[in-house]
Structure 1
Amino acid sequence: MWKSKVWIMSLVVLFIVSGCANSESTSNGNSEGDGSKTLTLWHIETGNSEVAIEDAVERFESNNEGVNVEVVRQENDPYKTKLSVAMGGGTPPDVFHSWGGGWLEKFVEAGQVKDISENINAEQYLPAALSPAEFDGKNYGAPLAMDIVPVWYNKEMFEELGLEEPETYDELLEIVETLKSNDIVPFSLANQSKWPGSFYYMYFAERFGGPELFNEAYNREGRGFDDEAYVKAGEKIQELAEMEAFPDGFNGMNFDTGQSRQLLYAEQAGMIIQGNWMLGTTRNDMPEFEEKLGFFLFPSIEGGQGSSKDIVGGVSPVFSVAEKSENQELAAELVKELTSKETAQQLANTDGAISAVKDVEYDDEYVAEISSVLEEAEYMQTFYDQTLPPELAEVHLDTTQALFGLSMTPEEAAKEVEEKAKEVLE
């Protein structure tokens, strides 16, 4: 009887273990009982850009029989946290969206990203676009598009008010005053997620301190994040806030839901500082507004070391392969398709994206004009929140939002970032 019970219990345990093993092998999405394989892809693209990603996935599946791709579009703001949790929990997607820079480097240092140097042809990409995902001579991501951040404005509104594109910051302030006197919000800004306000801080800092300011602070060679240029940047932000150059409650407005864009479309605001994705978003949101949409580069500031030919920009998306992927080689092939010339061509001509892939032809004159701005730029300042290590980037974003909210002095903000930089970078 005792032996019988042991035999029965052994069968039960065997069944449970077997069941758990089978459950584990299918729950991670990489293997199926019928021999097919599934890859997971996380990205944050929307509109025509999302369509280009989906089309690339469809081509990949057609060329790889028995392979399915589970595409998960994440919301922009919570995405970084979700991926960090997935990475830390050992359940990352096979392929994921990043921006390169310090944020990706943290995952690389933790051994969570595959070196795809041997999987991609580096000659296919623009060097400036490839470099944010290169660490210690190895490549951990392939780029699809590049971004620049101009000042977008309502051309028709400017013409009616007799306004012209400014060449200096003083001229920009005159535009702010004119718009305000006509009950129009000068700059539409939804800064709940903090990064939209960072554009102002980066531009002001560069215009005062010049192209080498950030590199010196980041590399701990020369000026720091508490340099006078950063203090002045904070002062200019607060000057605009005190002039009421932004919408009421802007620090609590949600960018992802389109609150800042809607003010521009409704002609309640005259300008917005956003990336070149604004063109594709406008075509998706309100295509009829495109004919009113113009752009100019953030102007120079008298006495500053920066130039109006120095631009803020970045590389996005960059696609990488998780080290824990059970199908790394297939995942790398998916990355190649996602960043192929065909995908880049589609993205450029449907979403207004500047290609990170060489030899793309722009059918869209507007996109070609934006691309030429990048080509003529003398310097590109990459996005702070993507270039800096995450813990330092968060301090930068928090203090910048506080500057806009007038709850912190420029000196306090600069000092707090510098103290964190000493802790993280040295």
Structure 2
Amino acid sequence: MIGKALSRRHLLGLTAGAGVAAALSACGSSGPGAGATATYWSLSGPPGEAARQAAIDRFNAANPDTKIAPQFFQNDPFKQKIKAAIGAGDAPTMIWGWGGGTLKAYAEAGQVDDLTDWFAQNPAVKNKLFPTSFGAATVDGKIWAMPHETVQPILLYWNKKVFEQVKAEPPQSWGDIMDLVPKFNAAGIAPFALGGQSRWTSMMWLELLLDRTAGSEVFDRVFAGEANAWSDPAVLDMLGKIQQLVAENGFIDGFSSITADSNADQALLYTGKAAMMVHGSWSYGIQESQGGDFVKNDGLGYMSFPPVDGGKGDPSNQVGNPGHYLSISSKATPEAKEVAKKFFSTVLLDDAEQNEWIKSGNVPIIQGSDKLYDTSPKGQFLKFCYDTSVNAKIFAQSWDQALSPTAATTLLENIAKLFQNQVSPQQWVDNMNAVIGK
């Protein structure tokens, strides 16, 4: 069971801390020793890899006597490699992740350092970050990771040109979604793009649909480790809706062999092969960088996931990533750990870091970053995501990150089977109940 400190309720308060900029220069210890190297593993691909590399380059240029050495991996390979490396006691100095259940497992196994005292000694660092980003970094009242990068809500995107072509309007309810499915299929356009081979993209559908159907309470009970918590009628209803959408050809043909890591699902949207897509806010930057003039010419529409007819969930509720997280390996040398902490307290909080993420179409996790947005289409998108996040009554962490690694693995396996009609809704529930609390 994940402790109370990992509450899923993330109402983002965004009041800037006073005197932060001046205080940051005093953060940290006396500094790392000359020649110290900290290793850093993270995700590859646009837009994140470029921003991460730029931060490392700025740090290395400003600290020529030390070094951060990065390696970048695609999403699924990264998860496998980092788990194996940590288990073998050969983790990188800085461990990139999403917090939640995986971080809890690392903390309980003594594989990452407790950063509670470091944050207490460096209040300017903590005060500059979204306060609620620390929920997924906290286990049993202690902080085990540095929140950084961006806040990422899950949105519903649509191709405006395709909608105009079939004379359709964006869906305002689940019923509208189901009504649009035959309309787009008749026009030879897939209703939804989906990188189903990656599984976590399919998970977004379950997260949002269950919330809109039943509110947050059902997954709260799962999260708390309550026995048979998945055996709620709302879960069976949600799973049935998903399989109905699949059966009515709601997704692109062959979706189960399409990978999100290659951004093939994104390409289906901006090329007009699919009308809509449910994906994270990072999708904007991908479509902007890879979709030619699609975003530039106002081809991309976006909105929060619509309500379910008769559902109990608040449409303002949000699901996604309340932040990203860097932990320090307990096996790293003292010198490497000091390099990491200096990186945390300087480059990751500077204006260049914020502007790098804004440039890529993302909302920095730093308070007051909305003041840096311009009035361009990208600025309008960022303001939408910022407001969506701050106004969400509940901002829930993605299920595969909130749950333990064991439960998350079972979750992703059964989601793939659900979309491929290899398990019934009741079998799905039974399989998931079996790993609650494990």
Normalising by structure 2, what TM-score?
A: 0.85
One-letter amino acid matched to 2:236: V
Give the deviation of 1:36 after TM superposition: 1.5
Residue from 388, 398, 415 that aligns with 1:373: 388
Conservation of the 8 A alpha-carbon contact between 1:86 and 1:92: yes
Q: Which residue of 1 aligns with 2:364?
A: 355
> For residues 109-141 of structure 1, what are the alpha-carbon distances to aligned partners after superposition, in whole Å with 9 as ceiling and x for unaligned?
111111223334321111221210011222111
> In 2, Cα distance between the equivalents of 1:148 and 1:245?
23
Q: Which residue of 2 aligns with 1:301?
A: 308
Runs of 4+ residues deviating >4 angstroms:
none
C-alpha spacing 1:348/1:65, structure 2 compared with 1 (3 Å): closer
> In 2, Cα distance between the equivalents of 1:344 and 1:36?
25
Q: Which residue of 2 aligns with 1:276?
A: 281
The aligned runs of 1:316-355 (5 Å cut-off) are: 316-326=323-333, 327-337=336-346, 339-355=348-364
Conservation of the 8 A alpha-carbon contact between 2:45 and 2:74: no
Structure 1 residue matching 2:244: 3-state secondary structure = helix
Q: Which residue of 1 aligns with 2:188?
A: 183
Q: Which residue of 2 aligns with 1:152?
A: 157
Moved more, 155-164 or 237-246: 155-164
Moved more, 193-202 or 207-216: 207-216
One-letter amino acid matched to 1:414: V
> For residues 279-315 of structure 1, what are the alpha-carbon distances to aligned partners after superposition, in whole Å with 9 as ceiling and x for unaligned?
1111221241112011122111122211221121113
Structure 1 residue matching 2:117: 3-state secondary structure = coil
C-alpha spacing 1:97/1:233, structure 2 compared with 1 (3 Å): same
C-alpha spacing 1:222/1:389, structure 2 compared with 1 (3 Å): closer
C-alpha spacing 1:162/1:318, structure 2 compared with 1 (3 Å): same
One-letter amino acid matched to 1:301: V
Larger relative contact order (Cα-Cα within 8 Å, sequence gap ≥ 6): 2
Q: 1:389 and 2:407 equivalent? A: no
> In 2, Cα distance between the equivalents of 1:105 and 1:344?
27
Give the deviation of 1:223 after TM superposition: 6.9
> In 1, Cα distance between the equivalents of 2:58 and 2:117?
22
Conservation of the 8 A alpha-carbon contact between 1:96 and 1:320: yes
One-letter amino acid matched to 1:209: A
One-letter amino acid matched to 1:37: A
The aligned runs of 1:27-426 (5 Å cut-off) are: 36-120=35-119, 121-143=125-147, 144-221=149-226, 224-290=229-295, 291-326=298-333, 327-337=336-346, 339-360=348-369, 361-363=372-374, 364-421=379-436, 424=438
Give the deviation of 1:58 after TM superposition: 2.1
Conservation of the 8 A alpha-carbon contact between 1:57 and 1:337: no
Structure 2 residue matching 1:244: 3-state secondary structure = coil
Moved more, 319-328 or 159-168: 159-168
Moved more, 394-403 or 113-122: 113-122
C-alpha spacing 1:223/1:124, structure 2 compared with 1 (3 Å): farther
> For residues 175-214 of structure 1, what are the alpha-carbon distances to aligned partners after superposition, in whole Å with 9 as ceiling and x for unaligned?
2221111111001011112111001111121122212211
Moved more, 353-362 or 74-83: 353-362
> In 2, Cα distance between the equivalents of 1:81 and 1:199?
21
> For residues 309-333 of structure 1, what are the alpha-carbon distances to aligned partners after superposition, in whole Å with 9 as ceiling and x for unaligned?
1121113431111111102122121
Normalising by structure 1, what TM-score?
A: 0.87
> For residues 349-387 of structure 1, what are the alpha-carbon distances to aligned partners after superposition, in whole Å with 9 as ceiling and x for unaligned?
211112211121223222112211112222222100011
Conservation of the 8 A alpha-carbon contact between 2:37 and 2:339: no
C-alpha spacing 1:140/1:45, structure 2 compared with 1 (3 Å): farther
One-letter amino acid matched to 2:142: K
Conservation of the 8 A alpha-carbon contact between 2:58 and 2:347: no
Conservation of the 8 A alpha-carbon contact between 2:154 and 2:278: yes
C-alpha spacing 1:343/1:222, structure 2 compared with 1 (3 Å): farther
Give the deviation of 1:46 after TM superposition: 2.6
One-letter amino acid matched to 1:355: P
> For residues 32-79 of structure 1, what are the alpha-carbon distances to aligned partners after superposition, in whole Å with 9 as ceiling and x for unaligned?
xx9622211111043243222222212222332311211111111111
C-alpha spacing 1:96/1:287, structure 2 compared with 1 (3 Å): farther
Moved more, 52-61 or 183-192: 52-61
Task: Give structure 2 stretches of 5+ with no counterpart.
Answer: 1-32, 120-124
One-letter amino acid matched to 1:417: M
Conservation of the 8 A alpha-carbon contact between 1:348 and 1:367: no
Task: Give structure 1 stretches of 5+ with no counterpart.
Answer: 1-33
C-alpha spacing 1:178/1:275, structure 2 compared with 1 (3 Å): same
Conservation of the 8 A alpha-carbon contact between 1:198 and 1:397: yes
Query: Pairwise CA RMSD of aligned residues?
Result: 1.8
Conservation of the 8 A alpha-carbon contact between 2:231 and 2:429: yes
> In 1, Cα distance between the equivalents of 2:48 and 2:352?
9
Conservation of the 8 A alpha-carbon contact between 2:181 and 2:249: no
Q: Whose radius of gyration is greater, 1 or 2? A: 1
> In 1, Cα distance between the equivalents of 2:259 and 2:172?
31
Conservation of the 8 A alpha-carbon contact between 2:38 and 2:337: no
> In 1, Cα distance between the equivalents of 2:427 and 2:227?
20
Give the deviation of 1:342 after TM superposition: 2.4
> In 1, Cα distance between the equivalents of 2:156 and 2:381?
15
> In 2, Cα distance between the equivalents of 1:71 and 1:356?
22
> In 1, Cα distance between the equivalents of 2:179 and 2:246?
15
